[in-house]
């Protein structure tokens, strides 16, 4: 009987048989095909030997290496069948957080810790270990520190933002990040406590998971508020508006390529490669259920998902590959600033076409232009195909309205200094030949106030070429920057000022004047740099 049970459990796992329809990307395991003790799987972790550990909502814990092993409260193993999180420490010991304290499995020896032995509460949510080997336990009544002998409790009286803590991350610098029930994050560097609520206009931030990626960024999954990234200086929040499948993020994992995987409650799974979002759901891809509680990546690159309907796995060969965008937006078989101009106008006129969504996030915006410029700038564009599939016809001549539209957006495109001149030259080359101006003119800069750059338009009248200068001065009348000092043919011109002086140094906020001078003409206008 025992041998037949083991064979029944091993066949689908060892031979990789798909337990779902052939078109499904996932392999799913439940009571019927893998003998799980519960299909309400709340957490997953993978140890150094490659064994997978799973916590059940109310039926204990499971381990799979080559066979399944089950752990129950009634057997005297784990002290709670409701397992909320599992942690494997640097010694290979396995810690289980539950609603009746914490259990520790060291080899075959079980040790249970409760309120009676020093925990702040029996209702525990997570266990973390820092670089010094110290254990930290999240409870609904504070945080515990355990050095192997003594339990110490930290609460609001010590500087913790609130007593209910859902999750703990000990980062690479030994800084501790505590995910709170309603008040965001408390950060502790061993000396100073800091509570962080980073989403403006939101009174309650419940943190469910915290993770550090390969670059050292901190990722925070929340209830209702999506996922946020902290790069050491700034916070960036991603929600369903950006491509995330649900704003309830319960689990985060980072694969070897640096892709971020988000387990969400009710939406399925999202993968983010830094620019594109890819979704996996029950309906479209065969995920066991869209209620996904946790995610882990094994050493072979297979992803393991804990769901409310068993366990789902996604092998590397089944991971969706985002479409490779073409940088040749205008289809002229050349890669240059003209493609960025074409994308700007495409986003204005035809934002629904696939080509307009350059960054693959499911929507057209200036972010697509910024990503295209980065790829052009750093040579990251894919090779031109024999036939540029999806490209629009070669860019037409731009009318005055087109030039004004593109010009008005340039200050928002994070341009490098050389690209400003490239844009000016491209706009001039692509623009329709207008009737020549009858007189000199100097227009107001756009935008104004500005930060960090602005656009200035001026005209040289019909007649002979003339010596023309356009310079920027501060309030004291001191020259700041020479923008033009050359002979100009008659026509209309656009020049950009990037907020730098003649020595390429950023100038401070303040009022500045720009003056156009030519024979028998001088005009001055005011502009404001507001940082």
405-438 tens-digit pLDDT? 888 887 787 776 667 777 877 777 776 555 678 8
CA distances from 41 to 37, 79, 108, 128, 304 (A): 10, 18, 23, 20, 11
pTM of the model: 0.69
* Span 162-176, pLDDT tens digits: 999 999 999 999 899
Q: Look up residue 262 and give its two tokens.
A: 């988000």
pLDDT at 384 over 70: no
Determine the pLDDT at residue 172: 94
Residue 167's nearest CA partner among 218, 205, 127 is: 127
pLDDT band at 74 (very low <50, low <70, confident <90, very high): confident
State the pLDDT at residue 16.
Answer: 41
Q: Structural domain boundaries of the chain?
A: 204-317, 326-433, 435-531
pLDDT of residue 398: 80
pLDDT digit string, tens, across residues 294-338: 999 999 999 999 999 999 999 999 999 876 678 888 877 778 888
Mean predicted lDDT score pLDDT of the chain: 88
Two tokens at 370? 């910024």
**Using CB atoms within 10 A of its CB, is residue 47 exposed (0-12), middle (13-18) or buried (19+)?**
middle
CATH 3.40.50.10790 fits domain 435-531: no
Nearest in space to 344 (alpha carbons), one of 299, 394, 409: 409
Q: What is the pLDDT of residues 188-242, one digit of tens each?
A: 999 999 999 999 999 999 999 999 999 999 999 999 999 999 999 999 999 998 8
Window from 95-109, 249-263, 362-376 with minimum mean pLDDT: 362-376
CA 40/CA 61 separation, integer angstroms: 11
Q: What is residue 81's three-state secondary structure?
A: coil
pLDDT attached to residue 288: 97
CA distances (Å), origin 253, targets 57, 211, 221, 300, 456:
21, 7, 11, 14, 48
Give yes or no for residue 393 having a pLDDT over 60: no
Integer Cα distance of 340 and 354 in angstroms: 16
Across 258-262, average pLDDT:
96
Kindly provide the b/e burial profile for residues 224-251, where b requires at least 16 CB atoms within 10 angstroms of the residue's own CB.
Answer: ebbbbbbeeeeeebbbeebbbbbbbbbb
Q: What is the pLDDT of residue 128?
A: 98
- Domain 204-317 maps to which CATH number in 3.40.50.10540, 2.10.10.90, 1.10.3210.10, 2.130.10.10? 2.130.10.10
Residue of 348 and 114 predicted with greater confidence: 114
> 48-57, 68-77, 147-156 — which is least confidently predicted?
68-77
Q: What's the pLDDT score for residue 503?
A: 87
């Amino acid at each position: 009987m025992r041998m037949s049970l083991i064979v029944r459990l091993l066949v689908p796992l060892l031979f990789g048989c798909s337990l779902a329809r052939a078109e499904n990307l996932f392999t799913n395991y439940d009571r019927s095909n893998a003998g799980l003790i519960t299909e309400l799987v709340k957490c997953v972790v993978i140890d150094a030997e490659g064994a997978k550990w799973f916590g059940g909502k109310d039926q204990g814990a499971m381990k799979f290496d080559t066979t399944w092993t089950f752990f129950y409260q009634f057997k005297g193993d784990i002290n709670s069948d409701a397992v909320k999180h599992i942690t494997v420490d640097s010694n290979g010991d396995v810690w289980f957080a539950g609603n009746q304290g914490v259990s520790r499995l060291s080899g075959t020896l079980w040790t249970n810790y409760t309120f009676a032995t020093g925990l702040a509460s029996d209702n525990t949510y997570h266990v973390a270990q820092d670089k010094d080997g110290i254990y930290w336990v999240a409870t609904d009544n504070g945080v515990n520190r355990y050095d192997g002998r003594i339990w110490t409790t930290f609460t609001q009286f010590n500087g913790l933002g609130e007593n209910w803590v859902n999750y703990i991350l000990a980062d690479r610098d030994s800084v501790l990040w505590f995910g709170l029930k309603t008040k965001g994050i408390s950060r502790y560097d061993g000396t100073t406590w800091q509570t962080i609520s980073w989403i403006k206009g939101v009174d309650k931030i419940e943190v469910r998971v915290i993770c550090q990626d390969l670059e050292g960024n901190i990722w925070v999954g929340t209830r209702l508020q999506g996922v946020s990234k902290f790069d050491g200086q700034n916070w960036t929040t991603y929600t369903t508006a950006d491509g995330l499948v649900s704003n309830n993020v319960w689990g985060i994992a980072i694969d070897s390529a640096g892709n971020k995987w988000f387990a969400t409650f009710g939406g399925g799974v999202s993968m983010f490669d830094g620019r594109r979002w890819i979704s996996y759901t029950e309906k479209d891809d065969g995920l066991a259920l869209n209620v996904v509680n946790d995610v882990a990546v094994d050493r072979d690159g297979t992803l393991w998902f804990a769901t409310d309907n068993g366990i789902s796995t996604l092998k590397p060969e089944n991971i969706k590959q985002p479409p490779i965008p073409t940088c040749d937006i205008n289809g002229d078989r050349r890669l240059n600033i003209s493609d960025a101009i074409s994308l700007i106008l495409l986003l204005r006129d035809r934002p629904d076409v696939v080509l307009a969504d350059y960054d693959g996030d499911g929507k057209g915006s200036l972010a697509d232009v910024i990503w295209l410029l980065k790829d052009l700038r750093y040579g990251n564009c894919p090779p031109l195909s024999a036939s540029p599939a999806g490209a629009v016809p070669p860019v037409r001549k731009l009318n005055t309205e087109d030039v004004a539209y593109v010009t008005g957006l340039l200050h928002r495109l994070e341009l490098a200094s050389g690209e400003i001149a490239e844009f000016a030259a491209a706009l001039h080359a692509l623009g329709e030949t207008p009737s020549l101006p009858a007189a000199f003119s100097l227009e107001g800069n756009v935008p104004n106030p500005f930060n960090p750059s602005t656009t200035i338009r001026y005209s040289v009248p019909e007649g002979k070429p003339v010596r023309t200068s356009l310079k920027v001065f501060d309030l004291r009348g001191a020259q700041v920057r020479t923008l033009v000092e050359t002979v100009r043919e008659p026509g209309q011109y656009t020049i950009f000022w990037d907020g730098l002086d003649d020595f390429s140094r950023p100038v401070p906020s303040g009022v500045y004047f720009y003056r156009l001078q030519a024979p028998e003409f001088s005009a001055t206008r005011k502009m404001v740099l507001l940082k």
